[in-house]
């Protein structure tokens, strides 16, 4: 079973999800397995995977599956027993889909867990598919659905939510004492921001065309400094090559504070630290941008596509290059560009 996500450390334990929907709990010091739980009973038939990292909070492990029978699941962190489970398509005889591609977000104070879902895989009948292409808010203890917002029911255009939900408080641009409790997430139709307790929609911003390969993809968002940072792709049309844009949005209003055109797509996570926004492009460009103004601070041309995103720790930026065209086939030419890089904050 392959690994398509990061492990999570909590209270001396490691929690790991595998591609065939199994969660493992290991003793961090020794590697001894303490428990394992299979989420999908028939992952091969349902083409089920776990592509997101789990989230651990108050003795519970939250995970989601990508499959024709997608589900949001809460496990007991001590034993691996299922605490609650929510099928995105409740009546699976009428269709399937709603894959959960990204990790959940947790409002720790209110104990609310947020998931985003993907598009319909199959559809039978006239009943609406209420929870596909949606942002869902659950009570973290019971799994009660508190509210949801669906972009479009039974959507034929594959406009998945592919970005993790983000929890933050947004400050009014003129009245610093006035804040909004927000949860925001991006799908191929744009960036959406809601009241995280009621589901009231605060704003939506669309930066590029909404297509199967357009919009924000693969966790290409971040939040900091009262800004929401979004990378949005635009598919090539009429012989024009695909491109992307990066933008800094005001967290309270959604207003575009700055906007930068990029010469290539971005299919990996972005990062923000030290008031600098970092992005990596498919053409190998690694770029640092002033998070407040959008001004380019520095860039490097690396010898391969940047797909894995960036990590920042102790004043060092880490990134990598290299990807094969087909993840299931070893591309020896691509392997030559599989490298790890470390940069100082000023690009050295």
pLDDT for the residue numbered 262: 92
Residues 6+ apart with CB under 8 A from 253: 173, 203
Strand partners, 180: 170
Q: How confident is the model at residue 330 (pLDDT cuts 50, 70, 90)?
A: very low
Reply yes or no on whether the pLDDT at 125 is more than 80: no
> What's the mean pLDDT in 202-226?
83
pTM: 0.91
The pLDDT tens digits for 252-263 are: 999 999 999 999
Residue with more model confidence, 83 or 50: 83
- Pairing relationship of beta strands 166-171 and 179-187 according to DSSP bridges: antiparallel
pLDDT for the residue numbered 325: 46
The pLDDT tens digits for 75-106 are: 999 999 999 999 998 877 777 888 999 999 99
Residue with more model confidence, 239 or 173: 173
Reply yes or no on whether the pLDDT at 327 is more than 50: no
Q: What angle do CA 158, 101, 282 make, to 5 degrees?
A: 80
Residues 6+ apart with CB under 8 A from 192: 135, 149, 151, 184, 185, 186, 201, 203, 204
pLDDT for the residue numbered 213: 66
Q: For residues 136 and 151, give the distance between their C-alpha atoms in angstroms, rounded to a whole number.
A: 12
Q: How confident is the model at residue 52 (pLDDT cuts 50, 70, 90)?
A: confident
Mean pLDDT, rounded, of the chain: 89
Q: How confident is the model at residue 16 (pLDDT cuts 50, 70, 90)?
A: very high
> What's the mean pLDDT in 54-67?
94
Which residues in 119-200 belong to E strands, given as ranges?
A: 120-123, 134-139, 145-150, 166-171, 179-187, 190-195
pLDDT for the residue numbered 69: 87
The pLDDT tens digits for 239-253 are: 777 788 999 999 999
> What's the mean pLDDT in 303-322?
88
Report the chain's C-alpha Rg in angstroms: 20
Q: How confident is the model at residue 317 (pLDDT cuts 50, 70, 90)?
A: very high
The pLDDT tens digits for 255-291 are: 999 999 999 888 888 999 999 999 999 889 999 999 9
Q: For residues 206 and 204, give the distance between their C-alpha atoms in angstroms, rounded to a whole number.
A: 7
pLDDT for the residue numbered 45: 81
One DSSP character per residue, 94-115 reads: GEEE----S--EEETTTTEEEE
Q: For residues 317 and 180, give the distance between their C-alpha atoms in angstroms, rounded to a whole number.
A: 31
Distance of CA 241 to the CA centre of its chain: 25
- What would the 3-class secondary structure string for 322-348 be? CCCCCCCCCCHHHHCCCEEEEECCCCC
Q: How confident is the model at residue 218 (pLDDT cuts 50, 70, 90)?
A: low
pLDDT for the residue numbered 189: 85
């Amino acid at each position: 079973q392959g690994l398509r996500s990061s492990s999570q450390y909590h209270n001396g334990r490691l929690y790991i999800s595998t591609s065939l929907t199994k969660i493992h709990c290991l003793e961090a010091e020794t590697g001894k397995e303490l428990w394992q739980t299979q989420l999908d009973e028939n992952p091969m038939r349902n083409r089920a995977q776990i592509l997101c990292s789990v989230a651990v909070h108050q003795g519970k492990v939250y995970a989601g599956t990508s499959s024709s029978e997608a589900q949001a699941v809460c496990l007991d962190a001590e034993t691996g027993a299922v605490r609650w489970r929510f099928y995105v398509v409740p009546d699976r005889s009428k269709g399937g889909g709603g894959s959960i591609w990204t990790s959940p977000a947790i409002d720790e104070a209110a104990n609310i867990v947020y998931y985003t879902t993907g598009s319909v895989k199959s559809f039978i009948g006239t009943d609406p598919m209420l929870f596909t292409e949606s942002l869902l808010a659950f009570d973290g203890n019971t799994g009660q659905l508190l509210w949801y917002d669906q972009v479009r029911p039974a959507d034929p255009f594959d406009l998945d939510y592919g970005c993790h939900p983000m929890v933050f408080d947004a400050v009014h641009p003129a009245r610093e004492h006035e804040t909004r409790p927000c949860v925001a997430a991006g799908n191929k139709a744009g960036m959406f921001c809601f009241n995280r307790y009621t589901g009231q929609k605060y704003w939506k911003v669309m930066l590029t065309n909404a297509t199967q390969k357009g919009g924000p993809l693969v966790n290409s968002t971040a939040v900091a400094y009262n800004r929401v940072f979004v990378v949005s792709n635009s598919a090539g049309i009429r012989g024009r090559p695909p491109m992307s844009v990066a933008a800094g949005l005001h967290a309270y209003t959604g207003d575009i504070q700055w906007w930068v055109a990029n010469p290539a797509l971005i299919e990996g996570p972005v990062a923000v630290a030290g008031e600098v926004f970092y992005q990596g492009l498919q053409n190998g460009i690694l770029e640092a941008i002033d998070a407040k103004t959008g001004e380019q601070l520095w860039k490097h041309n690396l010898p391969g596509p940047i797909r894995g995103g960036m990590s920042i720790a102790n004043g060092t930026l880490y990134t990598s290059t290299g990807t094969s065209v087909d993840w299931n086939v070893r591309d020896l030419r691509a392997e030559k560009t599989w490298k790890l890089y470390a940069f100082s904050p000023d690009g050295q």
